[in-house]
Structure 1
């Protein structure tokens, strides 16, 4: 039905491309580009072996707008799926505008030289995409992405509004290594070491990184310590759901992970400020990334499950008073590896990227402009989650979140 260009060749890209190849009635042609073409070739070979579908591969500097626009025209695609680093979001959006195609990503823009991520840079493209008659979908991963769609589905089917929202992200997997990040180490460590922020009573409340810890019993996983963090969907959800009084994001980490990050931060290895080493300028965090395990290589080692979802409180649609619902997905690391050769963290981002792309190609999400996931109709997306590896459950809780 549609031709798509995927940019990026990491673990999430591998999952997304595998799942696209499993749905040829939607994705008639798949093109894959990255700065390192050999990584694309490796993914294409795995996809061919598992599905029989051939994928065209290219070497591309995604920061080169003219080169990207030329490749878009050469391939004849109608959608670019950005699974590269978030530093490249704006350049890829510019290339889509130049070539006249739609855009989708999984994470919002952040400058490479500043630990700051917010939607303002991408929201500024609203008028450009609208004038061009093109659609840009922001954040079609799991969080952001599925968790935002969960909130919208609850508002459409269960609640008249959301008063309180907590997003809970638990990875109960174990890869047997002393220290490894679940996704791109550079992005992961920047998020973890940033100050925590949550939305409350019309303003942002900031606290030191990793300073608020709460135990929680996660379905399918068990009790884990979760930490209050800032995550980008808090900005878009509080903007597009102005009735929200409080919105928070929580992620689980083991004690060993916290200890490693603390030590690395204390000795300057998480810094993004350049330093001179033997006459060569390096970024400590980028160097650290090169010596840490590649998350894309951890699939065969990882066992256990993830559990990610929303706890939302608000007035019930049936007029029965205030209700609280917990909506979540449980994903098994070993099952993900058996299907697409990936651990569950990459799977839970790559599958939603495929489903979001499908919504564009199927014509379900085509309004011109720049849109966050919670602004879009959730129903077909939610139905596809159930059919393509990320089934969800919703339960009513006795009371709002007590933590």
Structure 2
């Protein structure tokens, strides 16, 4: 039986839970955990109403490695999908290493008190995951993530060369509110107020 543990019950966790439920041949057992179990319960009920699939919910603090390890050992998943906050990536990677579970996230690590995000902190775990025979897929959200896959596919199958790629990241639909961020408000505000890094003349520039 393939078991998945999803950490995070926000908007992205909601989508991930629904997507996993749509793949019952791959994910026979789905578990959803966050600090607030009632959020998990609401997501699980929505998934059940849409797909008929039941999700087991749990409460866990993703900053607490021993608590996360205990939950993983109870559930025994083959994969942990991390859609919690980006500054919880390393603690969840530590828990996966300790329990021998594969890891996937949608956003690269950034420190809790500094609006700076890059992959070097997570890449430092590469040898540990390799030596443990585990897989860690980083940054597999929309952009970067699936947009990289779409671009590689387009270049391989439809174009001789691509010089410029614009990715437009927006919300769809009408949520009835005057303003809403397109994902976690804290992280969104940190990102839009951080210095911009872009590629120019063969190097990354910061402005």
TM-score, structure 2 as length reference: 0.92
Instruction: Report if the CA contact (8 A) 2:198-2:206 is conserved.
Output: yes
Matched, 1:56 2:39: no
Q: CA deviation at 1:42?
A: 1.4
Question: Mapping of 1:1-400 within 5 angstroms?
Answer: 2-159=2-159, 162-171=162-171, 173-207=173-207
Counterpart Cα distance in 1 of 2:158 and 2:13: 34
Deviations 1:147-176 (A, max 9, x none): 111222133223466544333334465444
Instruction: Report if the CA contact (8 A) 2:170-2:182 is conserved.
Output: no
Q: Which has the larger radius of gyration?
A: 1
Counterpart Cα distance in 1 of 2:84 and 2:74: 20
Structure 1: gaps of 5 or more residues: 208-403
Q: How many residues align?
A: 207
Counterpart Cα distance in 2 of 1:14 and 1:81: 12
Q: CA deviation at 1:74?
A: 1.0
Deviating more after overlay: 13-22 vs 86-95 = 13-22
Deviations 1:283-327 (A, max 9, x none): xxxxxxxxxxxxxxxxxxxxxxxxxxxxxxxxxxxxxxxxxxxxx
Task: Find the residue that maps to 1:33 and give its secondary structure.
Answer: strand
Counterpart Cα distance in 2 of 1:175 and 1:51: 23
Counterpart Cα distance in 2 of 1:196 and 1:126: 27
Counterpart Cα distance in 2 of 1:21 and 1:164: 36
Residue 65 and residue 26 in structure 1: after superposition, are their counterparts in 2 closer, same or farther (change >3 A)? Answer: same
Q: CA deviation at 1:38?
A: 1.2
Deviations 1:242-276 (A, max 9, x none): xxxxxxxxxxxxxxxxxxxxxxxxxxxxxxxxxxx
Counterpart Cα distance in 2 of 1:12 and 1:159: 32
Residue 172 and residue 56 in structure 1: after superposition, are their counterparts in 2 closer, same or farther (change >3 A)? Answer: closer
Counterpart Cα distance in 2 of 1:42 and 1:138: 27
Q: CA deviation at 1:91?
A: 0.4
Instruction: Report if the CA contact (8 A) 1:7-1:81 is conserved.
Output: yes
Counterpart Cα distance in 1 of 2:125 and 2:162: 28
Structure 2: gaps of 5 or more residues: none
Q: CA deviation at 1:29?
A: 0.2
Deviations 1:29-49 (A, max 9, x none): 001111111111111122222
Q: CA deviation at 1:25?
A: 1.0
Residue 175 and residue 45 in structure 1: after superposition, are their counterparts in 2 closer, same or farther (change >3 A)? Answer: closer
Q: CA deviation at 1:87?
A: 0.7
Q: CA deviation at 1:57?
A: 1.0
Q: CA deviation at 1:179?
A: 2.5
Which contiguous aligned blocks of 4+ residues in structure 1 show a shift greater than 6 angstroms?
none
